[in-house]
Amino acid sequence: MGKINTLVFAGGSIHDWKGCSEVITGILSNHDTFELTIIEDDLDALISPNLDPYDLIVFYYTVGEINDAQKNGLLNHISSGKGYVGIHSAADSFRDCPEYRAMVGGHFITHPHYREYQVSITDSEHPITSDLVEFNVTDEQYILDYDHRVNVLASALYKGSMMPVVWTKNWGQGKVFYLALGHDKKACQHENFAVLLQRGALWAGTLEN
């Protein structure tokens, strides 16, 4: 396998994106397949052709506004056959942009208080979740409005119903992996956060999978 040129893009408001970005970058740097570039809080980095060098975009961002040039740069880049990894608040970015929400596959509605909860594996055949079993996290559980055509790999109980925690989907010729875990630096340090992030990034960044 060749190198996956990877952009870790972090910023926005509310979350400790600097702390989370440090952990995310550390996790990916432990796998020698990823060639990493880090950009913080500069949405103009998404404007075409700025993303051309990258096979994979790893996105940790909250709220914010995206203009047409930035939106088109990102969405067209992924649909051309690239990979996108959205972490936690990536589902709460650009609330006024339905096209971005469609690419991610869902968006944030609310969350219960920060607490311990159990994550269950719902697709044990997928390479991202193979050999994983249910595990507990202390994190902020995202309650999401999501496209039920996504491939849910893991979920967690909320008020008697299962809510996705991990999913995959396609966007044009590209691949999208969403991981709802990772509210803060401590949550990003969970061993299974690292496993899911590495595997999800490999899956999204490698077109032949």
Q: CA 13 to CA 191: how far, in whole Å?
A: 26
Work out the number of other CB atoms within 10 angstroms of the CB of residue 6.
24
So what's the pLDDT on residue 1? Answer: 66
Cβ contacts of 201 within 8 Å, gap of 6 or more: 4, 6, 28, 34, 56, 58, 83, 85, 177
Q: Given a cut of 50, is residue 73 above it in pLDDT?
A: yes
In the chain, the domains with their CATH numbers are 4-205 (3.40.50.880)
pLDDT digits (tens, 9 = 90+) for 144-167: 999 999 999 999 999 999 999 999
pLDDT digits (tens, 9 = 90+) for 33-70: 999 999 999 999 999 999 999 999 999 999 999 999 99
Average pLDDT estimate for 106-124 = 96
Predicted structure pTM score: 0.97
pLDDT digits (tens, 9 = 90+) for 9-35: 999 988 899 999 999 999 999 999 999
So what's the pLDDT on residue 208? Answer: 59
Q: Given a cut of 70, is residue 207 above it in pLDDT?
A: no
What are phi and psi for residue 94, nearest 5 degrees? 55, 60
pLDDT digits (tens, 9 = 90+) for 81-99: 999 999 999 999 999 999 9
